[in-house]
Structure 1
Amino acid sequence: MKILITGGAGYVGSACLRYVASQGHEVMAFDNLVMGHRDATDGHPLVEGDIADTELLTKTLKDFGADAVMHFAAATYVGESVEDPEYHYRNNIGGTLSLLQAMRAAGVDRLLFSSTCATYGMTQSETMSEATPQDPFSPYARTKMAVEWMIRDFAHAYGMGFTLLRYFNASGADADGRHGEDHRPENHLIPLVLQVALGQRDEIKVFGTDYPTPDGTCIRDYVHTRDLASAHLLAIEATEPGTAEVFNIGTGQGQSVMDIITACEKVTGKSIPRTITERRPGDPPRLVADPTKLKTQLGWEPVYTSIEDTIATAWAWHKAHENGYPDN
């Protein structure tokens, strides 16, 4: 297939782009490079543009001859969405509407959407299946849920096929050490802890120790980008006009903030100072996947099932790229 990947220069989007290309598909990235990095596309074609530009998207889809779209382009910072919801609603919902319009104009009828477990909100479930009620707790999560419904409505009305992938905490780096996580600013836990190990920051802040979890800190399901990418490939290959599917992507294992700090200390051999501070708004206590449907229906199996192995790939990347990717 020829697959256009919006947000294809970002952390997860580029990991999927590189993996899908390695499996024989033709790929093209579409990214405004606000958060993405040109080097992350590994030399694959990149169109620099914003998904709000419907005309450019339509032209790109037609010129490329795209068969399908993987849609990753979105604002993703929960805290920022609380402080500036207008930007998230305009970018995530408005941008996706532009993409859907472009797909219709270009005659592209297969879409894979990068959604999030955050749509489940403050659930009390130990693990979350696709049937877990959605009750998003932040503006970011609400935009993702709104986009899910917009895609459903377009598909129903216009004969599109789609797959929604609700994934949990993306983590790790490519096994060859050439590509990894580089957000500016960084707000993901594992790279922040590794920056302490590298001496780039003095300590790690722990946002709350009074959650209803065994050690009082938030629990998340950390899934390696390679495993995310393999799930995306299985999903896009199974998506046809008229299909409508939803899958969770996660390991089914949860690690608390303190678990991650301890694992990073083990991998790096360095002590990680930490400071306890107040909770952040919008942080659910526990988000852990039940990936049964993805495993049974698409035959997906994660390669990285040990958090230490995942962190080891990230540590190798950060040690070799202390300043991240070169500036675009």
Structure 2
Amino acid sequence: MRVLVTGAAGYIGYAVGRRLAAAGHEVDGLVRRDAGPVRRDAGLPDGVRPVRGDLLVPDGLPRGPYDGVCHLAALTRVRESFERPLRYFAANVQGTVNLLEAVHADRLVFGSTAAVYGTPERQPIPESEAAAPASPYGASKLAAEQAVRFHARTGAAGAVVLRTFNVAGSVDGRADPDETRLIPKALAVAAGRAPHLDVNGDGLAVREYLHVDDLAAAYVLALEAVRPGEDRVYNVGSGAGAAVREVIAAVERVTGRPVPTRRRPARPEAPVLLCDASAIRADLGWRPVRSALPEIIAGSWSALTCADG
């Protein structure tokens, strides 16, 4: 298939483009129009061709033709979304609508988030859990999901929504660059790039972590499986939880370095957020194979230390 990947130079988009190219697909990676001259690689994996465009300027988007689209371009920081909610709705909702109108493809895989669920009491969280986003980010992704799914129901395309929890790990020496997230920040502290790690409350909040390459494999399976007129929603996660304290201890074990912490006041957040990914396992045969916490941390640490020289 000929496939367009939006956000292809980003952390997850890079891993998805890499997997698609390895599976034999012809892959174009969308590069923002304001990113300067389009280099031949443009920060993309081998086998992915850069194309210029901006989701908020629909007239300039590539028309293809494409057999499939993996849509990963988005604004993703929960706390920032409270400060700039309109920016998040413009990028995540209007950008998605513009893509659907401009790029006609038979198959679409949309990257969404567990933030659409809010903080449900039922754990692990199945896809049947009612959506109740608690942030502008989560609300914007839910609205974009609905646009994608209603578009698919017209028969214009087949669509799969993948709701992810916490993504981590490294491919091709590229680790998660967002140090607002726990594992990248803990590793930055271990590397001496930051003096300490802020921990909200007692450090007992439990979250799960999925290797970015395992997530990329789910995108390939979803794109290859969906047919026009279908719309599906899948959670994608490991289902294996670890408390903040446990993650910090694992970082110290893997790196052999201390991670000093500073305790901050507790925030109103769910004590546990875990994924029920049984549906994608049953329907698509997907399984996480690289998502053990030590492997995630080791690969991210290696990428960080190599980047630091």
> TM-score per shorter chain, which class?
over 0.9
Tell whether 2:151 aligns with 1:154: yes
2:191 maps to which of 190, 193, 198: 198
Structure 1 residue corresponding to 2:48, chosen from 33, 44, 55: 44
Matching residue of 1:55: 59
Change (3 A) 1:169 1:34: farther
- 1:131 has 2:128 as partner: yes
SS of equivalent residue, structure 1 residue 113: strand
- Aligned-pair distance for 1:220? 1.4
Give the deviation of 1:108 after TM superposition: 1.7
Q: CA RMSD in A?
A: 1.9
Contact 2:3 2:70 in 1 (8 A): yes
Match of 1:317 among 294, 303, 307: 303
* 1:31 Cα deviation from its structure 2 partner: 3.0
Query: Corresponding residue for 1:213?
Result: none
Instruction: Note if contact 2:206-2:244 (Cα within 8 Å) is conserved in structure 1.
Output: yes
- Which residue does the alignment assign to 1:260? 247
The answer to whether structure 1 residue 77 and structure 2 residue 77 are counterparts is: yes
C-alpha displacement of 1:56:
1.8
- Other-structure match for 1:179: 174
| C-alpha displacement of 1:102 | 0.6
Aligned positions of 1:1-328 closer than 5 A: 1-32=1-32, 38-42=42-46, 44-57=48-61, 60-62=62-64, 65-103=65-103, 107-174=104-171, 177-183=172-178, 186-209=179-202, 217-280=204-267, 283-322=269-308
Change (3 A) 1:130 1:98: same
Q: Which runs of 5+ in 1 are unaligned?
A: 210-215, 324-328
Q: Which amino acid aligns with 2:302?
A: A
Quote the offset at 1:50 in angstroms. 1.5
SS of alignment partner, residue 287 of structure 1 = coil
CA displacement at 1:33 relative to structure 2: 8.2
Aligned amino acid, residue 201 of structure 1: A
Residue 125 of structure 1 and its aligned partner are, at CA, apart by: 1.6
The answer to whether the Cα contact below 8 Å between 2:185 and 2:197 also exists between their aligned partners in 1 is yes
For residues 259-281 of structure 1, the C-alpha deviation after alignment (integer angstroms, 9 at most, x for no partner) is: 11111001001111001113457
Equivalents in 1 of 2:33, 2:299: separation in Å? 24
Q: Which runs of 4+ in 1 moved over 4 A?
A: none
CA shift at 1:243, angstroms? 1.2
CA separation in 2, counterparts of 1:217 and 1:93? Answer: 34
Asked if structure 2 preserves the Cα contact closer than 8 Å seen for 1:79 and 1:280, the reply is no
1:74 partner amino acid:
A
> 1:322: Cα distance to partner?
2.5
Per mean C-alpha deviation after superposition, the further-off stretch among 199-208 and 149-158 is 149-158
Instruction: Name the amino acid aligned to 2:8.
Output: G
1:265 aligned partner, one-letter code: E
Alignment CA distance shift 1:46-1:120 (3 Å): same
Secondary structure of the structure 2 residue equivalent to 1:251: coil
Query: Secondary structure of the equivalent of 2:287?
Result: coil
Residues 13 and 33 (structure 1), Cα distance of their counterparts in 2 relative to 1, 3 Å cut? farther
Q: CA deviation at 1:40?
A: 4.2
Q: Which residue of 2 aligns with 1:326?
A: none
Provide the secondary structure at the position in 1 that maps to 2:305: helix
On the 8 A contact 2:155/2:228 being kept in 1, the answer is no
Corresponding residue SS for 1:236: helix
> For 2:232 and 2:201, how far apart are their aligned partners in 1?
36
2:225 and 2:181 map into 1 onto residues whose CA distance is 31
Q: Which amino acid aligns with 2:237?
A: G
Identity %: 37
Decide whether aligned partners of structure 1 residues 33 and 315 sit closer, same or farther in structure 2, where only a CA change above 3 A counts: farther
SS of equivalent to 2:154: helix
